[in-house]
Amino acid sequence: MFRPMMVRVYATYHEYREKEPFFKEVFESITNFDKEYLGQKEVHLSTGIEGYYDWSDFRKAEPHWISYLRNRETKIQTLHVFNPSQELLTAITEQPQIRKLVIRIAKGISDLSVLQKMPHLEYLEIYGVPVDLDFEPLVKCESLRVLHIFARKQLNFESVGKITQLEGLMFGSGADPAFDPKWVKVDNIHFLRNLKNLKRLEFDVKPLDSDLSPALSLRSLEEGWYRYFKEQTPSVEEMAKSHPAFQKVYENYLGIKSGNWKPSREIKFRKGNDA
């Protein structure tokens, strides 16, 4: 099945590609700061090879990015970076004005405590999270409100439960189950009970205890989505009856069961939400 987020991203990507000028206006790729940085607020660090990643080219560019970010003031507020080293991540923290940081593949990251130097960081998205990465340092990132964590391997999310300032959380594989149906399994999702300020929640993990009830304890939750499975307790219907935030999941479940589900309805539901 398609999750709403994935359908939206898939459709939006093609919309941007068809409107090439708009695509270029929104996303600014930077290979050489000295020549290409003109004060853009949103930047994608790039090797200049669209669609492919040559690690040698990337590593050649990285020292230049590190030097520039350490020694120059910029207006960057949103930064996307692919597979940064720990040194590059540390250099990024020299830009305290950054509000949104997206890390595509984080296998080179070993310590998130450096992010505590970013007083305005509100949104953090990490793909390819190493299994031993500790999220507890994010507790001291007082401005952090939205956290997205994606990995194809089993992670320990217990420390995420200590980041009580979060208002938006998404965690799981980050893959569309229609194309990659493998589950990311976790022991349980009990850590959610501590996140009393959550307003938006989305997850696609399979707890080994099959218990999704911790999500029902989030009384401030306004929007919720999860990847349902046969053995789950409470059932999809019971989840929807217990918490209105999960009503859309139940509608999706009924739609797929009847064969009348329409992705456009779900795209509208997710559009414009950071979490």
Task: Please say if the pLDDT value at position 20 is more than 60.
Answer: no
* pLDDT at position 267: 32
Grade residue 36 by pLDDT with cuts at 50, 70 and 90: confident
Per the DSSP assignment, residues forming a β-bridge with 205 are 184
Give CA–CA dist 133/131, Å, rounded: 6
pLDDT reading at 98 higher than 50: yes
Q: Report residue 162: phi and psi, to 5°.
A: -90, -10
Per-residue confidence (pLDDT) for residue 261, from 0 to 100: 61
Domains in the chain with CATH codes: 4-270 (3.80.10.10)
In this model, does residue 196 exceed pLDDT 90?
Answer: yes
Using a cut of 0.85, tell me whether the model's pTM lies above it.
no
Helices marked H in 33-124: 33-36, 55-71, 86-92
Per-residue model confidence as pLDDT tens digits over 215-228? 999 999 999 999 99
Confidence label for 270 from pLDDT (cuts 50, 70 and 90): very low
CA distances from 30 to 73, 100, 125, 150 (A): 16, 17, 19, 25
| Average pLDDT, integer, range 123-144 | 95
Average pLDDT of every residue of the chain: 84
CA distance 193 to 224: 14
Q: Note the pLDDT of residue 273.
A: 46
pLDDT value of position 155: 85
Higher pLDDT, 102 or 29: 102
